[in-house]
């Protein structure tokens, strides 16, 4: 069976479809379905096929594509803002966990260098499983998800010296010096620098040329080349391939092609990730599990508890509340694919005694197999461990009682107690409305609580905390965070807890206006639009317009969802905004030559292709018709004026010209 590649592919596909569909039907994570399929088909069960170098490479590429797509969600400024979590919390977790495990290994009788390597293997967690599961559960942008992601990033970087040490021990170089690790680390830093510099100065021109070729296949090939090239550069320097891919994705996040790149790469990612999880299941040796089940069970529980307790302490020191810290710790408690890779190298090099190595390897694989279920119920496990009452910082008893009493009657929930949130609270209070505010800035919360204000520390996207502040009794929810991703998470959480409560969202601009409305926001107030309307209203009154007519004009623009204000003629300032990851809606004019595909067709073809642009006007023979009907037939020489995000404008122009 293993000699026929086509038969292997068909068996894997059939088993994956069957087991994953069954897992979804009973409510289990899809990752677990893939792992079970690999366990059934692998060499330790039915034995229909085993892992090969090719399948292992393809499985690793699944992790590469996953990290690349995650990089597309991060901009360089966001990474700089996360440096404390990555290099502070991540380094503390790796150092403390590997040290404790290495000390235990020394007591178990392992040589010092071997014990240090085993400590590093145990300390890392599964990037692929954690990120995939958190993405499915919409927790990656929550406070515990962001903290876990930061630690995973550092673990991928810290993997380099442990991998070098494992290779040296397997080759018999027990006199391996510190200079060797420093050299490998320097090469890793150089590889990271190459990927970052290339991404900032080469990727945008490259994709610009590929996009203007108007060949989808060429654009797809260019994207695949970027992903695999960045992975190869980092791998050649000894860094994990996934790290290079993540950095490349992060650089592409600053371009206008981000959404198209993500759409192109998604099918490759999903298929290869499935193969990765199947390969994890194939490593589970049931015979060793049967023979030494008590030792393996002890190893699984002990290592998981060590990692969870240490990570909880680190997260608490970093400022997370008890429950959030415990959720982060539980997420990172499982073993990782890099740890298994290190342990496999030690076993192949006969560095470890098989009586120790084999049970430890099975324990790490079992830890990965059980990770999806633990991740699925991480909130319940955290609340059971530390108690939901500890989710917020301690507060004076009289204030806590007052908040509880207030939550049981009608009030307004304000999510975010910054400048805007405080202004809203004062207006509400002046009109006799009660409120409860939530914020994640401990200094601000402490100062407000000291003044007797009903403000509590907490993540407004946490459904448990929403229940604590009485979302079932709320008359309205006001979200004042400017970050659209944060606001989206809160809107989704509020809608799950209370489908009928009115939600008002403040947004910095209109980038996520439609997404927020689709998520359940009743009203979205973009700062830039409202500021423009206020200036325009004052200008009209200074020009002698009656106040009633001015108010009527402003209300009409609001009723049309600010459609009249959308789109900009882009200048240097907006280009700078794009460079730091802020998508700016632009206006673009497309002139239709006689051979253009859209000539003779109606404007409605853009809507039929599900392209999110607005046709502001069509200029024909020097006469501009604003807000044209969707049925208007386009002619050669027409100047079609479009408004939308850069990526959508690129698609619209391509459709109008070439179909």
- The proportion of the chain whose per-residue pLDDT surpasses 90, expressed as a percent, equals 9
Indicate the pLDDT class of residue 572, thresholds 50, 70 and 90. Answer: very low
Q: What is the pLDDT of residues 219-235, one digit of tens each?
A: 788 888 888 888 888 77
pLDDT at 283 over 90: no
- Collapsing DSSP to helix, strand or coil, 599 comes out as coil
Domain map (residue ranges) of the chain: 1-47, 58-386, 392-521, 585-658
Return the pLDDT at 100.
94
15-27 burial, b if ≥16 CB within 10 A, otherwise e?
A: bbeebbeebeeee
Backbone angles phi, psi at 10, to 5 degrees: -65, -40
Contact at 8 Å (CB) between 603 and 631? yes
The structure tokens 């390969």 sit at: 279
Return the pLDDT at 240.
67
Burial group, residue 309, by CB count within 10 angstroms (0-12, 13-18, 19+)? middle
- Dihedral sign from CA coordinates of 394, 397, 398, 402: positive
- Please state, in angstroms and as integers, the Cα–Cα distance from residue 445 to each residue in 146, 171, 234, 452, 457, following that order: 21, 56, 43, 11, 6
Q: Which two structure tokens, joined as six digits, stand for 1? A: 């069976």
Angle between helices 293-317 and 90-107 (to 10 degrees): 140
Tell me what the mean pLDDT of segment 461-479 comes to: 88
Angle between helices 258-282 and 127-136 (to 10 degrees): 120
Rounded CA separation 135/489 (Å): 12
Q: Which two structure tokens, joined as six digits, stand for 469? A: 């502040």
Tell me what the mean pLDDT of segment 432-456 comes to: 81
The structure tokens 């079609």 sit at: 640
pLDDT at 529 over 50: yes
Q: pTM for the complete prediction? A: 0.51
pLDDT at 576 over 60: no
Return the pLDDT at 98.
92
Least confident among 55-59, 239-243, 582-586? 582-586
Indicate the pLDDT class of residue 573, thresholds 50, 70 and 90. Answer: very low
What dotted CATH number matches 585-658? Answer: 3.30.70.1450
Indicate the pLDDT class of residue 74, thresholds 50, 70 and 90. Answer: low
Indicate the pLDDT class of residue 188, thresholds 50, 70 and 90. Answer: low
Rounded CA separation 532/558 (Å): 12
pLDDT at 400 over 70: no
Least confident among 116-125, 497-506, 517-526, 623-632? 623-632
Tell me what the mean pLDDT of segment 332-337 comes to: 86
pLDDT at 41 over 80: no
Q: Which two structure tokens, joined as six digits, stand for 254? A: 């600053």
pLDDT at 163 over 80: no
Contact at 8 Å (CB) between 593 and 88? no
Strands 614-620, 639-644: pairing is antiparallel
pLDDT at 149 over 80: yes
If you write DSSP's letter for every residue of 216-266 in order, what string do you get? Answer: HHHHHHHHHHHHHHHHHHHHHTTS-HHHHHHHHHHHHTTSTTHHHHHHHHH
Rounded CA separation 3/5 (Å): 6
Architecture of domain 58-386: Up-down Bundle (1.20)
Please indicate whether residue 389 or residue 136 has the higher confidence score (pLDDT): 136
Return the pLDDT at 501.
92
Architecture of domain 392-521: 3-Layer(aba) Sandwich (3.40)
pLDDT at 448 over 70: yes
CA-wise closest residue to 415 among 479, 348, 458: 479
Tell me what the mean pLDDT of segment 387-415 comes to: 62
pLDDT at 374 over 50: yes
Least confident among 183-187, 263-267, 313-317? 183-187
Return the pLDDT at 387.
63
pLDDT at 561 over 70: no
- Please state, in angstroms and as integers, the Cα–Cα distance from residue 292 to each residue in 295, 482, 608, following that order: 6, 55, 62
Least confident among 222-226, 279-283, 637-641? 279-283
Mean predicted lDDT score pLDDT of the chain: 77
Tell me what the mean pLDDT of segment 236-247 comes to: 73
Rounded CA separation 80/8 (Å): 45
- Please state, in angstroms and as integers, the Cα–Cα distance from residue 156 to each residue in 114, 150, 151, 251, 583, following that order: 20, 10, 9, 18, 29
Return the pLDDT at 301.
92
Please indicate whether residue 543 or residue 180 has the higher confidence score (pLDDT): 543
* Most confident segment among 35-49, 274-288, 421-435: 421-435
Return the pLDDT at 580.
36
pLDDT at 304 over 50: yes
Return the pLDDT at 77.
60
Rounded CA separation 312/443 (Å): 22
pLDDT at 65 over 60: yes
Return the pLDDT at 495.
92
Return the pLDDT at 259.
67
Q: Which two structure tokens, joined as six digits, stand for 390? A: 């500890």
Return the pLDDT at 391.
41
Return the pLDDT at 549.
78
Least confident among 315-329, 532-546, 555-569? 555-569
232-253 burial, b if ≥16 CB within 10 A, otherwise e?
A: ebbbebbbbbbbbbbbbbbbbb
Tell me what the mean pLDDT of segment 114-132 comes to: 86
Please indicate whether residue 285 or residue 87 has the higher confidence score (pLDDT): 87
* Most confident segment among 25-34, 337-346, 475-484: 475-484
Return the pLDDT at 313.
93
Please indicate whether residue 401 or residue 114 has the higher confidence score (pLDDT): 114
- Please state, in angstroms and as integers, the Cα–Cα distance from residue 416 to each residue in 383, 422, 442, 518, 527, following that order: 24, 9, 12, 21, 15
């Amino acid at each position: 069976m293993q000699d026929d590649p086509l038969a292997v592919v068909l068996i894997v596909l059939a088993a994956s479809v069957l087991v994953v569909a069954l897992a979804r039907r009973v409510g289990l994570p899809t990752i677990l379905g893939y792992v079970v399929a690999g366990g059934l088909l692998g060499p330790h069960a039915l034995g229909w096929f085993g892992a090969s170098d090719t399948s292992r490479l393809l499985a690793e590429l699944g992790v590469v594509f996953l990290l690349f797509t995650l990089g597309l969600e991060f901009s360089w400024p966001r990474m700089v803002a996360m440096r404390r979590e990555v290099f502070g919390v991540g380094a503390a977790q790796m150092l403390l966990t590997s040290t404790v495990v290495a000390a235990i290994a020394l007591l178990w009788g392992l040589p010092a260098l071997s014990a240090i390597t085993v400590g590093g293997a145990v300390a890392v967690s599964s990037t692929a499983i954690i990120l995939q599961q958190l993405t499915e559960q919409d927790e990656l942008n929550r406070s515990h998800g962001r903290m876990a992601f930061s630690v995973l990033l550092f673990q991928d970087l810290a993997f380099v010296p442990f991998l070098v040490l494992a290779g040296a021990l397997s080759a018999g170089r027990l006199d391996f010096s510190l200079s060797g690790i420093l050299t490998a680390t320097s090469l890793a830093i150089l590889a990271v620098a190459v990927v970052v510099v290339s991404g900032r100065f080469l990727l945008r021109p490259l994709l610009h040329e590929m996009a203007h070729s108007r060949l989808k296949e060429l654009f797809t090939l260019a994207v695949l080349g970027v992903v695999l090239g960045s992975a190869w550069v980092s791998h050649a320097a000894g860094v994990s391939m996934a790290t290079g891919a993540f950095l490349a994705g992060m650089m592409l996040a600053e371009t206008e092609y981000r959404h198209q790149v993500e759409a192109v790469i998604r099918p490759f990612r999903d298929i290869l990730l499935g193969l990765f999880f199947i390969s994890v299941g194939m490593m589970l040796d049931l015979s060793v599990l049967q023979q030494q089940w008590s030792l393996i069970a002890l190893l699984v529980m002990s290592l998981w508890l060590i990692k969870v307790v240490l990570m909880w302490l680190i997260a608490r020191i970093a400022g997370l509340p008890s429950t959030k810290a415990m959720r982060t710790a539980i997420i990172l408690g499982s073993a990782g694919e890099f740890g298994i890779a290190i342990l496999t190298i030690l076993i192949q090099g006969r560095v470890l005694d098989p009586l120790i190595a084999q049970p430890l390897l099975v324990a790490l694989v079992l830890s990965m197999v059980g990770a999806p279920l633990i991740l699925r119920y991480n909130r319940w496990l955290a609340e059971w461990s530390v108690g939901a009452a500890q989710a917020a910082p301690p507060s004076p008893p009289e204030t806590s009682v007052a908040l509880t009493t207030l939550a049981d009657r009608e009030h307004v929930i304000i999510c975010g107690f910054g400048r805007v949130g405080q202004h809203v609270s004062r207006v509400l209070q002046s009109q006799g409305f009660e409120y409860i505010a939530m914020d994640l800035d401990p200094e601000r919360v402490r100062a407000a609580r000291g003044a007797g204000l009903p403000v509590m520390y907490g993540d407004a996207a946490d459904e448990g905390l929403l229940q604590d502040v009485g979302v079932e009794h709320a008359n309205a929810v006001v979200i004042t965070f400017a970050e659209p991703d944060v606001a989206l998470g809160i809107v989704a959480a509020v809608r799950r807890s209370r489908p009928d409560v009115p939600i008002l969202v403040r947004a910095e601009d209109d980038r996520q206006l439609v997404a927020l409305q689709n998520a359940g926001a009743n009203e979205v107030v973009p700062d830039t639009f409202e500021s423009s309307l206020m200036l325009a209203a004052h200008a009209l009154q200074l020009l002698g317009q009656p106040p009633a007519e001015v108010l009527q004009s402003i209300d009409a623009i609001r009723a049309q969802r600010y459609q009249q204000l959308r789109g900009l003629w882009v200048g240097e300032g907006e280009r700078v905004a794009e460079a730091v990851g802020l998508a700016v809606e632009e206006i673009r004019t497309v002139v239709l030559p006689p051979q253009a595909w859209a000539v003779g067709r109606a404007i409605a073809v853009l809507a039929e292709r599900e392209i999110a642009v607005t046709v502001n006007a069509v200029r024909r023979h020097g006469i501009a018709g604003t807000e044209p009907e969707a049925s208007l037939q386009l002619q050669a020489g027409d100047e079609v004026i479009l408004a939308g995000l850069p990526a959508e404008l690129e698609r619209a122009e391509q459709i109008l010209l070439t179909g």
